[in-house]
Structures are given as structure tokens and as C-alpha cells.
A and B are shown apart, each in its own frame.
Chain A
Amino acid sequence: MIGRRVGRAVATLSLVVTGGCFATRSDMRVLQGDILNFRTETARADSARARQIATVAASLATVADSVRATSDRLTRFQGDTRGELRAIQQQLLQVQELTGQSQRRLQEMRAEMEARTQVPVMPPPVATVPGDSLTAAPVQGTPGPNQLYQLAYDQLRRGSFSAARAGFEELLRSYPTSELAPDAQINIAEAFAAEGTAASADSAYAAVVSKYPRSPRAATALYKMALSMARQGRRPDARTAMDRVVREYPTSDEADLAREWLRTNR
């Protein structure tokens, strides 16, 4: 019984296993048709993808051209802007220089006007007692700040340093709030420096910075003080002062010079 049952199972299994090897011709045709369809669809899909890629590439090229053109325009614009900025800077410099010249001329004219207003002023006539020999003396006007400055500055340029200093000190005494006060103070320092009294010069330079910290002369005075200290061999003090120039007056010409001094004197 068992043997007959095993024999039937083996026969069934053999039929199942070997049945696939015997596909019919119609099955083969169906299979070939499927493969052909698959290939056609694949080719169609590839073609569509290629068209899409070409479209994207064309779009990219257009965009790249646009970007390039925009970049060119931007570069041109930057160049034009730089050129215009440079021209504006030069014009500003010209205006500054011309303003400086005008200010100097104005100051000279003011000094001249002050000198002219100093002509002796006769007081109104006073009824005199017959026989009284006393007459009113002409009253001299005091020199104005511009005239004082010009006179002292001339002495400084001439090499009369003590006379120049006296003139500038007189200006500071008589007109402490004059716009020329910072210039007078720094010129006092210059006079000391020219005489070789470095300590006094340094004090006078420091006074410019402490009294008129917002004046353009403050950066100049601080830088000159630093150079003076360096000449005296006081390098740490000089470095400190140069650092102050850079820190407190970063946009001044003196800051530019101080930066380079600090770089070359490490």
C-alpha cells in the first residue's frame, strides 16, 4: 500500500516538475509580444526623457545666458559706480582743498579786517574847561583772534618761537572759545618742539587732545606726541599714543600713519 502511494506521489511530482519545460508555441508568442511591448514602451519613455532633458538643458542655457548678461551688466555697473565714486571722491577732495584754501584766505582777510578796525578811535569831543590842557588819548582796539593768530603764526614760521608762543597764549587767554584755539594750542606745542623742549611740547600736545578732543587738531596732536615720545626713546608710551590715534580717530590721516607705524615698529 505504502509503496503504491509513494509511487503515485513521485509520478505526480515528476509531472509537476517537468511540466514547465514543455511550453506551447502560443505561450512563446505571447511572451515575445510582451517583450516587444516592453521595449517599445521603454524606448518611448527614453525619448520623452531625452526631450525633457533637452528642454531643461535649453532652459538652463537660456538661464545661464541671462545670468551672464546680468553679471556683465552688474560688473559694468560696479565699474561705473566705482568710477563715479572715485570721481566724486576726487571732487570732494578738490572741494576740501579749495575749502582749505578759502578758509586760509578768509582767515587772512579776517585778520586784515581786524587790523583795520584797530585804527585809533577818537572819543566824542568832550567839553573842556578853558585852560585845561588834558586831551583824551586815542583808544586802541585790542587785536582780534584772527589777527593775533596770524601775527603769532608769522613769528612761528620766522623762527621766533618764544614770541610765537606768547602770541598764541595771548589768543587762548583773550579768546578761549575761538575756533582758532585748537590751532593756537597745537602751535604752542610746535614752538616748544622747535625749541627742543620735548617735555613741554608733549604737555602742550596732550592739552590739545584733552581740551579739544573733537577738533581735527586732536588727532594731529596725538600723533605728533607719539612721534615725539618715540624720538625720546619712550617706545611703550609712543605705542600707547599711536594706539589711541587708531582707536579714537580711526578715519583720520593720522590713524593711517599710526597703523603703519605700529606695523613697522613691533
Chain B
Amino acid sequence: MPLLRRCALSLVAALAVLLSVAAPARGQDTTVAGVRIGLVYTPGTRPGVLVLPVGGVAGDSIRAILQRDFTYGDRINVIALEPSAIPPFGDGSSKPNYPLFTRLGAAAILEVTPTSFGIQVAVHNAGKGLVERTKAFPLPAGTLSANWRLALHDVADEIELWVTGVRGIAATRILYVSEGRVYQVDSDGANPTPLTGAATAMSPVWNPKATHIAYMTMGPAGQQIVIRESGGATRVLPTRNGLNMTPTFAPDGNTIVYAFGAESGTDLYATNAFGNEPARRITVGRGSDNTQPSFSPDGRRLAFTSGRVGHPEVYISDADGTNAELLTPYNFGDQSYRANPDWSPDGRLIAFEALIGGRMQIMSIGLRDRVIKRHTSEGVNEQPSWAPDARHVVFTSNRGGTRQLWVLDVESNTVRQLTRALGARFGAWSPRSVVASSVGPSPTPTPPPQAQGTCHESWTSRTRPLGTRPRRRLRLPEEAGNDVDPGDADA
């Protein structure tokens, strides 16, 4: 490693010179909140960031987690240097070799110092050769616990905001279903935790504040919608007996829209997630199936899948169901299959799945220009769900041999595997507020309650086991079992 050796020698020489230079004063937060550091970030480029070795017991873990978060954010290029190649630093008696690190591609140098209550972060501007910003971050007790990791992810997100102007998505979680149970996992794939004991859960979603989740499950009266709050208490949405599925919360946090199927077709209904008023029908399918609703960020529009032209296509309408229009263009006579729309948090795109060459692939369509982009090609890829940065999408794919969740960067179309569970599917990315009010695991995961009649008004933390699976009139792709057809999997 001649380059590294040269680097090390240069650093030693530089240290001797710099010992006499006073270290810059470090306060709690030297800049006004909300003001970016002086780096010039050009969209489409990835500024290099060097994370200096971190001291303390969990120093290596802190450095590894931060570096991984920056890498997964796809907006920062992490300068990977072995700790041994970087001289000791951080006691205030020296400063980095800015010219050297600048030559290595570092626009910013991150100095993390463990404190009694958390960590102190200093961001050096390598180009200017000075500390741009320092801030102390408290971390909860229990090093490497789920909450500690989440707090550290939040630090990474804030640093990403300083460097790029866009907050990261590390401090988020993703819901998914494995073996019929709803799980949550950190955005970096750590801490997969079961949230429900139900063996028949499907289609989990977060509410906008991440204080509740909703999912559908099987009961004796058909499929029903269950709402679970962060403490673990659950409530069955008062719906008609039958096929109730694919719930989604409106951005107001109170309205929930779901699909109800009957002999006359499947339509979308809206109701108060926490009330008992009758649900209001919002689609006019006239015998067709209308499912998988997804709200626009402002809550005034709705995307959904409809089979009203004979095959599933993505439609958008006003939130009250009026002004429905076909979003995904097709030619007369086509029997295409486009479904599972998810509206991006910035409102510009809708991701969906489309059948191409006999396999589902992840696509997106622009709301303004209606231009469709294809993002995947390997294996079967379906059920997209946007991250809060409107850049990453979690989706289900069998490209690794079994059905797992993968994360896609729609700008570069790069992917990474998120889960290593038994047949993970139905990924649902949380909003950023998951830090403030995380849906924690149930102490004793129990099955959701059974629907009795049509109305359940109270929240309950103890529930009865579920009954058998009723006959279903409609079988959508997302409702298919989590068994993987070996012939369908790409190596």
C-alpha cells in the first residue's frame, strides 16, 4: 500500500508542524440551527466524507454505523480509510491534514467524540481547513440497543442534512410481513422485530406520525383491518363482514381508506380510523376491483389500482373519489397489469409494479409529464414503498433466491438487500417521525382481535387466535403466498 504509507508519513510530518497551532474553539453548536455548513453541494454529485476513528468502547460501532448510513443514503461518498492509516486525533491538540484529505476526495471530515451523555460531532470543511459546525448529541443508555442505534441513525441524518442539504433516511424503519407476522426492521437491516402474533397479516402501513400501524388479517367474518398503536393495543376497524384489505392512512392521520370486496365488485371506502361512523364509498367500480389506495402528500389526491377496463391499471382521483382518471397509459386492446401504486413523499412520482415479459417490475411515472421509467429487471420485483426522501424505494424481490425486501435508489437504480427473513414481503417505509414516536414491539405479541359483527370500539391488548382462512373471491398478486417458485428466482 504505497499510497497509504505515503499518507501516513505525510500525516506524521504534518502533525509535527501542527502541534503548535491552537485547536479551534469548540462549543455546543457553533452555527445557527438550520444553516448548512459551507460545502457547495451540487445535486447529482456525492461529496466525500471521511469519518475519523472514534474512541471509546463503542467507537468502532459508531464509526461503522455512521459510514454505513452515509453509504446507504446514496448522497455521500464515504472515504474508506483504515483507522491505522489515520493518526490519532481528537484531543484538541491537533487538526487533520486538510490538504491530504482533500486530495483523497474528502469534502468534509467528521470527528466524533464520545461524551458522558452521548457524542460530540465536529464537521471539518476540508477545503477551507476549519471546523464548520459542532454539536452534541445525546444517546440513550444501552449501547447498541435498538433505541441507541436509532438515535445514532438520527445523528447520521442530521450530518447528511448539513453536508448535502437533504436529511437522510437512516432513522426510519420498514414494516414487512414474514410468515404471516408483521415485523419492523431498521433502515440498515438491523433489529428485525415482530410486532404481531397474527399468522395471517398482510399489507401493513404506517400512519403519518408513525404512532400507529394498520394491516389486514383473516378473521371468521372474513378479512378485517386491524389498527395497532405503539403500545401494542389493537383495534379492529368497524367494517362490513367480507373482504376488507389494503388499508392506508390519509396524511391527516385520522382517515383510513381501504378496499372492501363484495359480489358486486371491490371498491374503496374511507372512514375515521378512530371513530365508528359509517364508511363512505369513494370509487365507482361498477363490478370491477378497486384496491391498493395511496394518498398524495397533501391528501387531496388518491392513487389506486382499478380493473375497470378489464385489467389492472393505476388510476388517480380526488380524495373524495371524484375526477378519477387513468394514470398509466396503455394502447387499446392491451392486457397489461399495472398495480400497487405508491405516491412519492415529494408528490412528483408514483411508483408501481408492472408485468413485463411475465414478471413484475418496479416502475415509476411522473405526475407532471407522465413519463414512465423502469427501475428493475432482475427477478420478480413488486410492492414498492417510498422512503421519506422520495429517492429510495423498498420492494419485494426474489432476485436473491428467496423473496426478500430490497432497497432501490431510483436515481442510480442501485439496489441493496434489506432483509434476510423467511419470505419477507409487503414492505412499508416509515415516515421520519419514527424517531419521536416509534412503534415498539409488543411485549407479548398476540393475535389481533376477531371481528364480532361489524363494530369494535375499544382498544385491546389481548386478543384471540384467528380462525381459518375464508374463501376469497379475488386473488391479487400481493395476496399470493410467500412461497417462492424456484423457477422464478434469479440466481
Residues of A with Cβ closer than 8 Å to B? Answer: 90-91, 93-95, 97-98, 100-101, 104, 154, 157, 159, 190, 194, 220, 223-224, 227, 253-254, 256-257, 260-261, 264-265
Which residues in B have their C-beta under 8 angstroms from that of A260?
280-281
Which residues in A have their C-beta under 8 angstroms from that of B280?
257, 260-261, 264
Are B322 and A94 within 8 A (Cβ)?
Answer: no
Q: What 1/0 mask marks residues of chain B from 323 to 336 whose CB sits below 8 Å from any chain A CB?
A: 11110010011000
Which residues in A have their C-beta under 8 angstroms from that of B326?
97-98, 100-101
Residues of B with Cβ closer than 8 Å to A? Answer: 278-282, 284, 286, 298, 300, 308-310, 313, 318, 320-326, 329, 332-333, 347, 367-368
Q: Which residue of B lies closest to A252 (CB)?
A: B284
Q: How far apart are the CA atoms of A98 and B331 in the complex, in Å?
A: 8
Smallest Cβ distance from A17 to chain B, in angstroms? 89
Smallest Cβ distance from A5 to chain B, in angstroms? 104
Are B332 and A98 within 8 A (Cβ)?
Answer: yes
* Contacts A90-B310, A97-B309, A264-B280 given; does A253 touch B322 at CB 8 Å: yes
Which residues in B have their C-beta under 8 angstroms from that of A94?
309-310, 332-333
Q: How far apart are the CA atoms of A98 and B313 in the complex, in Å?
A: 12
* Contacts A95-B332, A253-B284, A261-B280 given; does A220 touch B310 at CB 8 Å: no
Smallest Cβ distance from B414 to chain A, in angstroms? 30
The number of A-B residue pairs with CB atoms under 8 Å apart is 59
A-B residue pairs, 3 tightest by C-beta: A253-B284, A264-B278, A97-B326
Are B322 and A265 within 8 A (Cβ)?
Answer: no
Which residues in A have their C-beta under 8 angstroms from that of B279?
264
Q: How far apart are the CA atoms of A154 and B310 in the complex, in Å?
A: 31
Are A256 and B322 within 8 A (Cβ)?
Answer: no
**Which residue from A154, A194, A220, A264 sits with its C-beta under 8 Å from B323?**
A220
Q: How far apart are the CA atoms of A49 and B281 in the complex, in Å?
A: 68
Which residues in B have their C-beta under 8 angstroms from that of A224?
318, 320, 322
Interface centre among A104, A157, A220 (most CB of B within 10 A): A157
Are A254 and B309 within 8 A (Cβ)?
Answer: no
Which residues in B have their C-beta under 8 angstroms from that of A256?
284, 286
Are B309 and A90 within 8 A (Cβ)?
Answer: yes
Which residues in A have their C-beta under 8 angstroms from that of B322?
220, 223-224, 253-254
Q: Which residue of A lies closest to B279 (CB)?
A: A264
Smallest Cβ distance from B383 to chain A, in angstroms? 25
Which residues in A have their C-beta under 8 angstroms from that of B284?
253, 256-257
Which residues in A have their C-beta under 8 angstroms from that of B347?
157
Q: Which residue of A lies closest to B313 (CB)?
A: A97
Are A101 and B309 within 8 A (Cβ)?
Answer: no
Smallest Cβ distance from A241 to chain B, in angstroms? 13
Q: How far apart are the CA atoms of A91 and B279 in the complex, in Å?
A: 31
* Contacts A254-B322, A264-B278 given; does A194 touch B300 at CB 8 Å: yes
Which residues in A have their C-beta under 8 angstroms from that of B325?
97, 100-101, 104
Q: Which residue of A lies closest to B329 (CB)?
A: A101
Smallest Cβ distance from B324 to chain A, in angstroms? 8
Which residues in B have their C-beta under 8 angstroms from that of A104?
325
Which residues in A have their C-beta under 8 angstroms from that of B309?
90, 93-94, 97
Return 29 A-B CB contacts under 8 Å, by A number: A90-B309, A93-B309, A93-B310, A94-B309, A94-B333, A97-B313, A97-B326, A98-B332, A100-B326, A101-B329, A104-B325, A154-B368, A157-B367, A190-B300, A194-B298, A194-B300, A220-B323, A223-B320, A224-B318, A253-B284, A253-B321, A253-B322, A257-B321, A260-B280, A260-B281, A261-B280, A261-B281, A264-B279, A264-B280
Q: How far apart are the CA atoms of A157 and B348 in the complex, in Å?
A: 10
Q: How far apart are the CA atoms of A227 and B333 in the complex, in Å?
A: 37
Q: How far apart are the CA atoms of A159 and B309 in the complex, in Å?
A: 32
Interface centre among A94, A220, A223, A261 (most CB of B within 10 A): A94
Secondary structure of the A side of the interface? helix
Smallest Cβ distance from A202 to chain B, in angstroms? 14
Which residues in A have their C-beta under 8 angstroms from that of B300?
190, 194
Q: Which residue of A lies closest to B297 (CB)?
A: A159
Q: How far apart are the CA atoms of A257 and B332 in the complex, in Å?
A: 28
Q: How far apart are the CA atoms of A190 and B323 in the complex, in Å?
A: 12
Q: How far apart are the CA atoms of A265 and B281 in the complex, in Å?
A: 12
Q: How far apart are the CA atoms of A101 and B282 in the complex, in Å?
A: 22
Q: How far apart are the CA atoms of A59 and B310 in the complex, in Å?
A: 48
Smallest Cβ distance from A62 to chain B, in angstroms? 40
Q: How far apart are the CA atoms of A169 and B324 in the complex, in Å?
A: 24
Are B323 and A159 within 8 A (Cβ)?
Answer: no
Q: How far apart are the CA atoms of A90 and B285 in the complex, in Å?
A: 12
Q: Which residue of A lies closest to B334 (CB)?
A: A94
**Which residue from B282, B329, B333 sits with its C-beta under 8 Å from A257?**
B282
Smallest Cβ distance from A264 to chain B, in angstroms? 4
Which residues in A have their C-beta under 8 angstroms from that of B333?
94
Which residues in B have their C-beta under 8 angstroms from that of A91?
332
Are B320 and A227 within 8 A (Cβ)?
Answer: yes
Smallest Cβ distance from A88 to chain B, in angstroms? 11
Q: How far apart are the CA atoms of A190 and B298 in the complex, in Å?
A: 13
> Given A97-B309, A220-B322, list of 13 further CB < 8 A pairs?
A91-B332, A93-B310, A94-B310, A94-B333, A97-B325, A101-B326, A104-B325, A154-B368, A157-B347, A194-B298, A257-B282, A260-B280, A264-B278
Q: Which residue of B lies closest to A221 (CB)?
A: B322
Which residues in B have their C-beta under 8 angstroms from that of A159?
298
Which residues in B have their C-beta under 8 angstroms from that of A93?
308-310
Q: How far apart are the CA atoms of A91 and B309 in the complex, in Å?
A: 7
Q: How far apart are the CA atoms of A213 and B309 in the complex, in Å?
A: 28
Q: Which residue of B lies closest to A159 (CB)?
A: B298
**Which residue from A253, A254, A257, A265 sits with its C-beta under 8 Å from B278?**
A265
Q: Which residue of B lies closest to A219 (CB)?
A: B322
Q: How far apart are the CA atoms of A199 and B43 in the complex, in Å?
A: 44
Which residues in B have their C-beta under 8 angstroms from that of A95?
332
Q: How far apart are the CA atoms of A159 and B298 in the complex, in Å?
A: 8
Q: How far apart are the CA atoms of A266 and B161 in the complex, in Å?
A: 53
Q: How far apart are the CA atoms of A187 and B280 in the complex, in Å?
A: 23
Smallest Cβ distance from B424 to chain A, in angstroms? 35
Q: How far apart are the CA atoms of A101 and B280 in the complex, in Å?
A: 28
Smallest Cβ distance from B51 to chain A, in angstroms? 38
Q: How far apart are the CA atoms of A260 and B323 in the complex, in Å?
A: 18
Interface centre among B280, B309, B325, B367 (most CB of A within 10 A): B309
Which residues in A have their C-beta under 8 angstroms from that of B308?
93
Q: How far apart are the CA atoms of A261 and B278 in the complex, in Å?
A: 9
Q: How far apart are the CA atoms of A131 and B407 in the complex, in Å?
A: 71
Which residues in A have their C-beta under 8 angstroms from that of B323?
220
Q: How far apart are the CA atoms of A254 and B279 in the complex, in Å?
A: 16
Q: How far apart are the CA atoms of A100 and B308 in the complex, in Å?
A: 14
